[in-house]
Amino acid sequence: MQEYLIRDINLAPGGRLKIDWVRVHMPVLNVIREEFERTRPFAGVRVAMSIHLEAKTAYLAEVLKAGGAEVAISGSNPLSTQDDVAAALAAEGIHVYAWHGATGEEYVEHLVKVLEIRPHVVIDDGGDLVHLLHTRCRELAGEVVGGCEETTTGVFRLKAMEQEGRLLFPMIAVNDARCKFLFDNRYGTGESVWAGIMRTTNLLVAGKTVVVVGYGWCGKGVAMRAAGLGAKVVVCEVDPVRALEAYMDGYLVMKSEQAAEVGDIFITVTGCRDVLRSRHFRRMKDGVILANAGHFDVEINKPELAGIAVSRRLVRQNIEEFTLPDGRRIYLLGEGRLVNLAAGDGHPAEIMDMSFALQALSARYIWENGNCLKPGVHLVPPELDRRVAEIKLSSLGVEIDQLTPDQKAYLQSWQAG
Ligand SMILES: NC(=O)c1ccc[n+]([C@@H]2O[C@H](COP(=O)([O-])OP(=O)(O)OC[C@H]3O[C@@H](n4cnc5c(N)ncnc54)[C@H](O)[C@@H]3O)[C@@H](O)[C@H]2O)c1
């Protein structure tokens, strides 16, 4: 098997420094690494991974390798791959197939190379590996015991496959664990989206009107941090309960076409397509900034934006200017790909510590139990969720109370009083 397909192996020392930096800030994953080194749960196991290939992910790959796995990895988005990190992993003997800025075809070729390892366990982010294993690369699915999915959009795709009776093996919805979505989607996306936008634009947020489209777990984080930065926040939703939640959280709620007229910065984070399209672009003020934080680059309709523009040019790294016939300019960040990874380093290490601890424990769980689980989407076992929270609290030096036996009995009883 070809060992790696990367931009430049000489970049490895810089990538190693990045991985070492995040490792220090990932105490939960460090505990799991030590456990894996002792028990070698993945001895002889081949793991295929496709996740945004930056330092935290790289450390997850190393933890699985420390547990005995043979690991092959690619990115899950052409713009989120960091070439120095990919090189550092390749230098450690991990099969890496990814480079920053891969074309659509190269991106798929990299996924296929990863699958050529003939995986026992799949770790996916957005569902592209699993999709290939059910279509073009079906013959490589024979030994798959199961896998884990990282994000909301991937879980949606898996559930659609399950409903059609198409899913060939069990997949754990890591995204749906409490230690994932409550922290990664909310605090992780909330912080890293703004880190990406501020670093890319070098512009002020305070006083601006920020429109957040989608008030799910990610949208709540993005809106909360926008308010903290001093922005006026508008939320657009299609779910009446979530719209009401946004309203009572203190935000203005309105239809997206109305919001298009007042916003200065727009952030889509829905997992849906065409959330902002020409009918919105036509109403926007001069100089607005558009960014997407949802998994795929379909939330802002780029062909429609290009279609109504008379010219377009790159005005700064990761900022493309589209000029409309009347001279108004619209700025699109990171090609409409998820801005925190395409134009930033992704979530803080302390957050991914929890998500990737869940990934590592879920990968072990699926390897040890996958043969007993039905093909379909499964929840992370609650004891794993709880264990991640316990190790995290302990790493933070935080102690909490325990239920007394009487309290436990009371909570389990149906008798009053
Ligand atoms: N950028 C990141 O690092 C990151 C991290 C985690 C998840 N994600 C991705 O972000 C997206 C959202 O994830 P989530 O966990 O918040 O999902 P979620 O399901 O909790 O929330 C999505 C929200 O968007 C709303 N929505 C859907 N279509 C809409 C439309 N057309 N207009 C307005 N609102 C609409 C839904 O009603 C829902 O409330 C997914 O694609 C997910 O994979 C990105």
Band (pLDDT 50/70/90 cuts) for residue 147 is very high
Residue 219: CB within 6 Å of ligand 1? yes
- Give the pLDDT band (50/70/90) at residue 305: very high
Cα of 197 vs centre of ligand 1, distance in Å, is 18
What spacing in Å lies between the alpha carbon of 196 and ligand 1's midpoint? 18
- Residue 214 Cα to ligand 1 midpoint, Å, equals 6
- Is the pLDDT at 330 greater than 60, yes or no? yes
Class of residue 385 by CB neighbours under 10 A (exposed 0-12, middle 13-18, buried 19+): buried
Q: Tell me, in angstroms, the distance from the centre of ligand 1 to residue 183's CA.
A: 15
Q: Is 334 in the pocket of ligand 1 (CB under 6 A)?
A: no
Tell which residue, 186, 268, 190, has the closest CA to residue 222.
Answer: 190
Of ligand 1's listed atoms, the one at least distance from the Cα of 346 is: 3
* Rounded mean pLDDT, 119-124: 98
Neighbouring C-alpha atoms within 13 Å toward the C-beta of 409? 4
Q: What is the pLDDT of residue 68?
A: 98
Ligand 1 centroid, distance to 259 Cα (angstroms): 18
As a whole-number percent, the residues of the chain with pLDDT over 90 amount to 97
> Residue 255: what residue type?
K
User: At 1, is the pLDDT very low, low, confident or very high (cuts 50, 70, 90)?
Assistant: low
pLDDT band at 389 (very low <50, low <70, confident <90, very high): very high
- Closest alpha carbon to 28 in 305, 399, 387: 387
Query: In sequence order, what are the residues at sequence separation of 6 or more whose Cβ sits closer than 8 angstroms to the Cβ of residue 346?
Result: 52, 54, 56, 80, 192, 340, 352
User: Is the Cβ atom of 216 under 6 angstroms away from ligand 1?
Assistant: yes
Judged by DSSP in three states, 156 sits in: helix
In this prediction, residues 291-308 reach a mean pLDDT of: 97
* Interatomic CA distance for residues 142 and 57, integer angstroms: 26
The whole-number average pLDDT for the span 144-161 is 96
pLDDT, one tens digit per residue, over 13-31 is 999 999 999 999 999 999 9
Neighbours of 68 (CB within 10 A): 15
Distance CA 307, CA 244 (A): 35
Q: How far apart are the C-alpha atoms of 347 and 360, rounded to whole Å?
A: 18
Phi, psi of 119 (to 5 degrees): -70, 150
The mean pLDDT of the chain is: 97
Lay out the sheet containing 376-379: strands in order across. 4-5, 95-97, 70-74, 46-50, 121-124, 146-149, 170-173, 376-379
pLDDT for 386 equals 97
Q: Which two tokens stand for residue 266?
A: 């727009």
225, 253, 270, best to mutate for ligand 1 pocket (most atoms within 8 Å of CB): 270
Give the number of other CB atoms < 10 A from CB of residue 56: 27
Using the predicted structure, report yes or no on whether residue 78 has a pLDDT greater than 60: yes
> Candidates 76, 295, 355: which one to mutate for ligand 1, based on the most atoms within 8 Å of Cβ?
295
- 397 CB burial (10 A radius; 0-12, 13-18, 19+): exposed
Contact 309, 286 (CB under 8 A): no
50 strand-pairing partners: 74, 124
| pLDDT tops 80 at residue 2 | no
User: Which distant-in-sequence residues (6+ apart) come within 8 Å of 288 by Cβ?
Assistant: 263, 264, 265, 266, 330, 331
What pLDDT sits at residue 79?
A: 85
Strand partners, 266: 211, 290
Across 159-208, where does the E strand assignment appear? 170-173
In this prediction the pTM is: 0.94
Query: Tokens 């079906």 map to which residue?
Result: 138
- Token pair 């309960």 is at which residue? 241
Instruction: Reduce the DSSP state of residue 153 to 3 states and report it.
Output: helix
Mean pLDDT of 155-172: 97
- Indicate which residue's Cα is closest to atom 31 of ligand 1: 275
In this predicted structure, the answer to whether residue 312 has a pLDDT above a threshold of 80 is: yes
Task: Indicate the pLDDT class of residue 417, thresholds 50, 70 and 90.
Answer: low
Q: Are 231 and 266 a contacting pair, CB within 8 Å?
A: no
User: For ligand 1, what atom is nearest to the CA of residue 272?
Assistant: 28
Q: Which two tokens stand for residue 344?
A: 């930033």
Instruction: Report the residue among 50, 80, 150, 152 best suited for mutation to probe ligand 1: largest number of ligand atoms under 8 A from its CB.
Output: 152
Listing DSSP states for 83-146 in one string gives: HHHHHHHHHTT-EEE--TT--HHHHHHHHHHHHTT--SEEEESSSHHHHHHHTTTGGG-TT--E
Mean pLDDT across the stretch 207-219? 98
Sign of CA dihedral 296, 298, 299, 303: positive
pLDDT at 415: 82
CA of 224 to the centre of ligand 1 (A): 15
Distance from the CA of 90 to the center of ligand 1, in angstroms?
Answer: 33
Record the tokens describing residue 55, joined without a space: 């330092």
